[in-house]
């Protein structure tokens, strides 16, 4: 893709090239943080910044893996929570060696994701954008070129927030749905990211308890909207959900975003985020769950789509259990 040529179409800048400033854009996240949280994150960044200069990005990655190993040694409560989640997704009892290897990998990767998240605004735009590749990129770009937005169905698996920021730097308009009690680290980093790259359309985050009109607006404005459908519980009685079988148990997965996407004419794709060595990431589009141009019966199409989604989640999570993000 010609990056410069595509930015106007995908990002929706003004004719003069400046980004559209949104009236409903959220205030910088760190305004809502207490002084202790800001001090803690600033101290961590002050430590990591010279480390990045001295060791380079690859060195920081290796430091992150070492740090994760230390956490694995001392954080027995989190080890126990991950082990329980690991047993559930495997379907069979793992050996001690398998459990230890998967748990160490989980600690190492989650620590590396957090380190990159903290320092991504220290990187140049070109270097940061180069850390992510989309496969197949043409499929996603063709869907975005329709101008009606794209819904990317994710799961609690992989570094969503890292991927979202890198997608913005690649020129995409990106929005996500988050828990209203979003962590302080994510709010802090997102506010710094928006200030570091003011020339780009902001990364938008919609609260999961917001009104559907916010999601409709994202599709109308051509955003790539991503969220995880494999929720642990349906929060409100008015949220649409379907019961599916996954990992040997019956669970309810959200279908409301699929229905909204269909009504807006937005294609629905399923993606997984892969973490690779040296802070490299890959967004793999594995399935087109719904195409509004060919759907005739919404209820039947959504039912088929959510079952294909669950089957894909089960297959990918079992193959890469150390990337689970909800334990």
Indicate whether 301 belongs to any domain: yes
Residue 201 has what pLDDT? 64
Indicate whether 154 belongs to any domain: yes
Residue 200 has what pLDDT? 63
**For the ranges 59-63, 70-74, 148-152, 159-163, which has the lowest average pLDDT?**
159-163
Q: What values do phi and psi take at 22, rounded to 5? A: -90, 135
Residue 292 has what pLDDT? 94
Give the residue with greater pLDDT, 3 vs 325.
325
Residue 17 has what pLDDT? 39
Indicate whether 17 belongs to any domain: no
Indicate whether 59 belongs to any domain: yes
Q: Is the pLDDT of residue 281 over 90?
A: yes
Residue 233 has what pLDDT? 64
Nearest Cα neighbor of 41 from 168, 171, 190 is: 190
What one-character DSSP code corresponds to residue 249? E
Q: How far is CA 246 from CA 89, 270, 311, 322, in A?
A: 9, 16, 7, 18
Give the residue with greater pLDDT, 165 vs 233.
165
End-to-end CA distance of the chain: 37
Indicate whether 28 belongs to any domain: yes
Q: Is the pLDDT of residue 18 over 50?
A: no
**Residue range of the domain that includes 207:** 3-12+22-323
Give the residue with greater pLDDT, 84 vs 21.
84
The residues near 49 (Cβ < 8 Å, ≥ 6 apart) are: 119, 122
Q: With 0.75 as the threshold, say if the pTM is over it.
A: yes
The token duo for 82 is 């991950």
CA–CA dist 110, 323 (Å, integer): 8
Q: Are 160 and 176 in contact (CB under 8 A)?
A: yes
Q: Is the pLDDT of residue 6 over 60?
A: no
CA–CA dist 109, 112 (Å, integer): 5
Dump pLDDT digits (tens) for 195-211.
887 766 667 888 877 77
Number of domains in the chain: 1
Residue 199 has what pLDDT? 63
The token duo for 76 is 């027995």
Indicate whether 114 belongs to any domain: yes
CA–CA dist 153, 229 (Å, integer): 7
**For the ranges 79-88, 131-140, 199-208, 265-274, which has the lowest average pLDDT?**
199-208
Indicate whether 273 belongs to any domain: yes
Indicate whether 81 belongs to any domain: yes
């Amino acid at each position: 893709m010609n990056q410069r040529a595509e930015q106007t179409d995908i990002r929706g800048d003004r004719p003069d090239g400046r980004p559209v400033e949104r009236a409903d854009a959220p205030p910088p996240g760190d305004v809502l943080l207490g002084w202790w949280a800001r001090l803690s994150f600033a101290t961590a960044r002050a430590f990591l910044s010279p480390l990045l200069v001295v060791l380079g990005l690859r060195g920081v990655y290796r430091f992150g893996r070492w740090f994760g190993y230390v956490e694995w040694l001392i954080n027995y409560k989190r080890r126990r929570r991950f082990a329980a989640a690991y047993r559930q997704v495997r379907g069979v009892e793992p050996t001690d060696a398998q459990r230890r290897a998967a748990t160490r990998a989980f600690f190492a990767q989650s620590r590396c994701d957090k380190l990159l998240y903290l320092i991504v605004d220290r990187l140049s735009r070109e270097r940061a954008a180069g850390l992510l590749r989309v496969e197949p990129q043409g499929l996603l770009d063709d869907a975005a070129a329709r101008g009606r937005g794209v819904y990317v169905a994710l799961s609690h698996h992989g570094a969503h927030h890292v991927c979202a920021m890198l997608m913005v730097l690649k020129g995409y308009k990106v929005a996500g749905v988050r828990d209203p009690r979003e962590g302080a680290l994510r709010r802090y980093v997102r506010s710094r990211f928006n200030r570091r790259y003011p020339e780009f359309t902001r990364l938008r985050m919609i609260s999961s308890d917001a009104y559907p009109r916010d999601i409709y607006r994202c599709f109308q404005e051509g955003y790539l909207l991503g969220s995880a459908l494999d929720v642990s519980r349906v929060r409100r009685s008015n949220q649409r959900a379907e019961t599916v079988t996954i990992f040997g148990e019956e669970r309810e997965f959200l279908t409301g975003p699929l229905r909204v996407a269909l009504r807006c004419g937005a294609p629905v794709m399923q993606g997984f985020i892969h973490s690779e060595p040296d802070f490299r990431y890959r967004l793999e589009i594995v399935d087109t769950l719904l195409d509004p141009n060919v759907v005739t019966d919404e209820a039947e199409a959504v039912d088929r789509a959510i079952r294909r989604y669950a089957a894909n989640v089960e297959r990918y999570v079992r193959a890469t259990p150390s990337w689970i993000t909800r334990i």
